[in-house]
Structure 1
């Protein structure tokens, strides 16, 4: 006799997102796995006394979304501190910081995360002059959305300035502007890192937010953080509602090797991922390494955060220890250098990644395909690629060469979608991919969804257990109120249900 299902999801438009995509009516789940996919009438025979049956009313059921590049603590910080990502102007950002200042004890830092000055009428990063207008006894700190730029008030400069690398501190007329970039920005973020209980608060808020958006797994980029311990403690308590791959920063490599870890170690929902490193910076900060000057700064071509020789040394060490490497590379020179380094690696064992790969040249794309290098990309970055967007200012006509998702897909480069928490919302990313500025930058709905499911699973060595709706795979699923194939606004489609390992973690039916 066939054993009854624990959970039966029926009367749905089930998309398996296999190749080719198949559609069905129902999914049966037992012990955290998908056991049957098919006709609603037939699967109804798997309903037993203890089975929970949910009639989805024709809603769309998909594999759960896996965000292949995020910083979950930053998502939490936007939820707990001032969220500057929705500020439509400099004044809006300052108002949000003032509201936050009223809520913190005198002398404590006033923190805001996620500002994007490229959408404001008045250009330029927030400066000490701007932040000094916030009435606060302690330092005021505003973090740009890309995490490569931090703005400090005068009090913030006084508190953190002596510990910042001078190269990252911007000046005007011999005085610091309050804008710090790259290593200096990292130093500020490190100084403001929360303790373990603070980290738990951030991650709990972030995972609830993620589940509400259909996210069932994340590849979290962690550095000198309590997050790994918090994730494992939450998992042990049965309170972790995401699968987490920990992509550790390169300065953790020696410690990881000493403890005998390598990529894919771990059981349950928390596993070791890649070794993460930078090679260059960002387009917004004019620090991405380009072959031609920035359109709005003819003397600047960006620079190296980790140069080619140092990156090669890291790659050799990480590969020898059994680690996948995830290299941040945005400018065409940086992407080319990473591909050159990967050419001597064994893709069958390491499956290396390039994070962002925004200005990958045609030659680099072809080599990535040949080497099976994963392009871990963020479709929501298309928000800056319009005719009058940030990339038009920084790159001129080269804006259409950024994030060529369609070109990558046509070359058969493995595509994994993530958000970089700008924002953490897969359907926003899918909408940007589908409505891209040019054909070379765009994808169809099916391919965009697949990059946020099976593609991200592949980037994390999980394609055999996640990423499609098939018998035998783990029951990580999302149910949408409307079809992204027919919706007028994909980003506005609501998530009705999120299931992780057969457990409902978000329900809004």
Structure 2
């Protein structure tokens, strides 16, 4: 006699996704595993008095989503601190930050810093970054930081500039008439991150909040990008306690490559719920911050802009990790049997990553990835296919590619229209992984843009 199911879901429109046209009505689950997919009539035979039964009443049921590019700790910060994602203007973002400052002044949490996350100025009528003047309005006594959605740009108030000013690399501190505006990009965020880093207890609070949000949206697995964080320990603690509802692939930042090699970590090692993934690195920045590395200048670049090492021309973006350093990192990680996943958005950056992967013995077998692949150079897609490298893309970024949108302003019409070429990558046989970068973490939002853009 077949054992009864613990859970059955009946009277639904079930899409197993094993075949594009296949549907069913019901699903049975036992001991955390799906044991049968079929008709309501068939599945009802697997229910007994102790089985939990959910009548879907015609609703659609899908397998859990795997988000291949997340920042769960940062998502948790948006949920716990000031969430600026829905702000429609600089004034509204400032108001949300001021509310958070008032909460802290009233003792809501034992924290000094006022933090906000996720604003997107490209959707504002007054399209500009938050700067020192804005954030001084929030507080002139507490340090205040407002991170742009892409996490490559942040605004800070005068308290932060006074406290961290001598540690901020000048090339990534935006100035006006020689004075810092409070707008920081790329490496200038380096000193800010450890100053606001949560301890292990707060990291657990953030990750649990992010996990709850993800599971509400049907996400059951994440590839999490982790740097200088308690998150790997917290994930394993949650796993040991039976409190982890997500399967987590931990992608360690390249800062941790030496430690990973010394401790013998290898890609795919771990438990059923927490596994070592890739070594993650940057190459360039983002289109929104004008730091993605391009061959030709940004359409809206400041002709006098110069930033980066060696006076790199700021009109074409900048290297966050220079090509020579990237090649060395890829070689060392590959020799240690570690997958590499490299952030590359601009055409110049994508070209350099593909060249670094081509120098390894078997990039396809190692499943080396490029994150974002927003503006591949001519011939890049064929080279992707030849190398059998993985394109880890974010279809939700297509929200910025509309005419008169952010990418139209930054790139111009021609480059805007050929950005994020998901169909071309698929048609060329390139292996795709879809993720959100938590901008936002919402799989159906990404599916919408993938299908309709």
For the aligned pair, the TM-score class normalised by the smaller chain equals: over 0.9
* Equivalences for residues 37-56 of structure 1 within 5 A: 37-56=37-56
For residues 268-314 of structure 1, the C-alpha deviation after alignment (integer angstroms, 9 at most, x for no partner) is 21111110000111111111111111001164001211122211111
**Which of 211, 214, 217 in structure 2 is aligned with 1:210?**
214
Q: Which residue of 1 aligns with 2:369?
A: 353
Q: Which residue of 2 aligns with 1:15?
A: 15
**Which of 94, 118, 122 in structure 1 is aligned with 2:122?**
118
Residue 33 (structure 1) aligned with residue 49 (structure 2)? no
- State the secondary structure of the residue aligned to 1:142: strand
RMSD, aligned α-carbons? 1.5
Query: Structure 2: how far apart are the matches of 1:285 and 1:416?
Result: 24
**Which of 265, 290, 311 in structure 1 is aligned with 2:326?**
311
Query: Structure 1: how far apart are the matches of 2:63 and 2:368?
Result: 24
Residue 281 (structure 1) aligned with residue 281 (structure 2)? no
Residue 328 (structure 1) aligned with residue 332 (structure 2)? no
Query: Structure 2: how far apart are the matches of 1:189 and 1:65?
Result: 30
For residues 88-119 of structure 1, the C-alpha deviation after alignment (integer angstroms, 9 at most, x for no partner) is 00110000011011011498111111111111
The alpha carbon displacement at 1:136 in A equals 4.6
* Equivalences for residues 418-497 of structure 1 within 5 A: 418-436=435-453
On the 8 A contact 2:140/2:158 being kept in 1, the answer is no
- State the secondary structure of the residue aligned to 1:272: strand
On the 8 A contact 1:148/1:186 being kept in 2, the answer is no
Worse-superposed segment, 27-36 or 329-338: 27-36
Query: Structure 2: how far apart are the matches of 1:87 and 1:246?
Result: 31
- State the secondary structure of the residue aligned to 2:228: coil
**Which of 171, 182, 198 in structure 2 is aligned with 1:194?**
198
On the 8 A contact 2:253/2:279 being kept in 1, the answer is yes
**Which of 246, 249, 255 in structure 1 is aligned with 2:253?**
249
Worse-superposed segment, 203-212 or 425-434: 425-434
For residues 185-242 of structure 1, the C-alpha deviation after alignment (integer angstroms, 9 at most, x for no partner) is 1331222111111111111111111111111111110001011111111111111111
For residues 413-441 of structure 1, the C-alpha deviation after alignment (integer angstroms, 9 at most, x for no partner) is 122111111111111111222221xxxxx
Residue 132 (structure 1) aligned with residue 136 (structure 2)? yes
Gap runs ≥5 in structure 1: 437-509
Gap runs ≥5 in structure 2: 304-314
Query: Structure 1: how far apart are the matches of 2:89 and 2:100?
Result: 17
Q: Which residue of 1 aligns with 2:385?
A: 369
**Which of 174, 177, 190 in structure 2 is aligned with 1:173?**
177
The alpha carbon displacement at 1:348 in A equals 4.6
On the 8 A contact 2:395/2:447 being kept in 1, the answer is yes
Residue 79 (structure 1) aligned with residue 95 (structure 2)? no
The alpha carbon displacement at 1:4 in A equals 2.1
The alpha carbon displacement at 1:16 in A equals 1.6
**Which of 349, 355, 359 in structure 2 is aligned with 1:344?**
359
On the 8 A contact 2:407/2:416 being kept in 1, the answer is yes
For residues 133-189 of structure 1, the C-alpha deviation after alignment (integer angstroms, 9 at most, x for no partner) is 113521111111100011110111111212222221111111111011101113312
The alpha carbon displacement at 1:19 in A equals 4.3
- State the secondary structure of the residue aligned to 1:408: helix
Q: Which residue of 2 aligns with 1:62?
A: 62
Query: Structure 2: how far apart are the matches of 1:208 and 1:194?
Result: 19
Worse-superposed segment, 47-56 or 370-379: 47-56
Q: Which residue of 2 aligns with 1:92?
A: 92
Q: Which residue of 1 aligns with 2:311?
A: none
**Moved >3 Å (runs of 4+):** none
Q: Normalized against structure 1, the TM-score is what?
A: 0.83
* Structure with more contact order per residue of length (Cα contacts < 8 Å, sep ≥ 6): 1
On the 8 A contact 2:401/2:417 being kept in 1, the answer is yes
For residues 240-273 of structure 1, the C-alpha deviation after alignment (integer angstroms, 9 at most, x for no partner) is 1111111000010110111111111101211111
For residues 350-399 of structure 1, the C-alpha deviation after alignment (integer angstroms, 9 at most, x for no partner) is 10111000001341111112222111111111111111111111001111
Q: Which residue of 2 aligns with 1:380?
A: 396
Aligned positions, number: 436
